[in-house]
Amino acid sequence: MSNFPFQRLQVDLAALIARTPAGQRLPSEPELAKQLGVSRATLREAMRAFETQGLIRRRQGSGTFVVGKMRGLLDNGLEVLESLETMAKRLGLEVSVSDLSVESLPADDDAATALGVPSGTPLTRVRRVVRADGRPVAYLVDILPEAILHVEDLPVDFHGSVLDFLLDRGDPLRTSRANVSAIGGTAEVAKALEIQRGDVLLHFYSQLFDEENRIVDYSLSYFIPGYFHFHIMRRVGA
C-alpha cells in the first residue's frame, strides 16, 4: 500500500526471511529485485539492514542465507520495547492489572534529573501491579511530565500501559534506555507485590526517548524472578 519502496520492501523481505527455513538460500538479488518490484540497489540497502540485524548472511559468489531461528528469540527479547501487556498477549499469556493508580505530583529532584525538567514541574505518575494467575508478578511505575500526559487525557478504560497509550496516540517514540539491576524489595514494592521486604527482585530503571532524543518518560519496573524470562541478544565485540 505504501508508496515508499524501501518500507514496503522491508516488510516483504522480513516476511520472506521469516518463512524461509534457517540455513536456506534466498533467491539471487536480481531475481528478488524482480519479484519484489524494486531495483537491485534498493534491495541491497534493505538486505544490508537485515544483515546488520544479523538475520541474514551474504557470501560473495555463493548467495544469501537466512541465519537462524533468532526470530522467536528476538521477539521475546529486550531489543524491542513493548508493554508487558503486549508481550503477554503475543505469548498467549493471561495477565491482569490491579492497584492501578494515576495521580499528578510535582517533580522531586530524582524525577527532575531523570526527566531533564526543573524541580517542581507538574508530573503524572502511573503505578500498577501486573498479575498472572492472580498472583503479582511485576510492579510498574511510570512518571512523565503532565505536558506529555495529563491525568485527564487517559480514557476511562485505561488498562495501565503508558507506552501503549502513547503509541496509540501516535507519539513519535524511538528508543528506551534500560538500566538493569537486582535489588531487594522496599517496603512500598514489597507490599504491592505481596512479598517480604528485602526479597529478591529484578529491577529495570528506564528512560523513554522520542525521535528528537528528548526524554518522554521514565519508569521503574520490579519483577518477581521466574515469571518473565528476559533475554538479550548480544553481538560479539570486534
Beta-bridged to residue 126, according to DSSP, are 102, 142
Q: Dihedral of the CA atoms 53, 54, 60, 64 (nearest 10)?
A: -100
Least spacing, CB of residue 170 vs a second copy, in Å: 12
Residue 59 interacting with a second copy (CB under 8 A) = no
Binding a second copy by CB under 8 A: which of 63, 95, 184, 220? 184
Beta-bridged to residue 173, according to DSSP, are 210
DSSP letter at 93 equals: -
- Helices marked H in 97-215: 109-115, 162-169, 187-193
Least spacing, CB of residue 115 vs a second copy, in Å: 17
Cα angle at 166 between 161 and 169, to 5 degrees? 125
Least spacing, CB of residue 71 vs a second copy, in Å: 12
What are 87's three cell numbers?
Answer: 508481550
Kindly tell me the burial class for residue 224, based on how many C-beta atoms sit within 10 Å of its own C-beta (0-12, 13-18, 19 or more): buried
Binding a second copy by CB under 8 A: which of 112, 154, 178, 215? 178
Least spacing, CB of residue 84 vs DNA, in Å: 34
Residue 67 interacts with which of DNA, a second copy, none, CB < 5 to 8 Å by class: a second copy
Note the residues at the interface with a second copy (CB under 8 A).
Answer: 22, 41, 44-46, 48-49, 51-54, 57, 67-68, 73, 78-82, 86, 163, 167, 173-184, 198, 200-203, 206, 208, 211, 213, 223, 225-226, 229-237
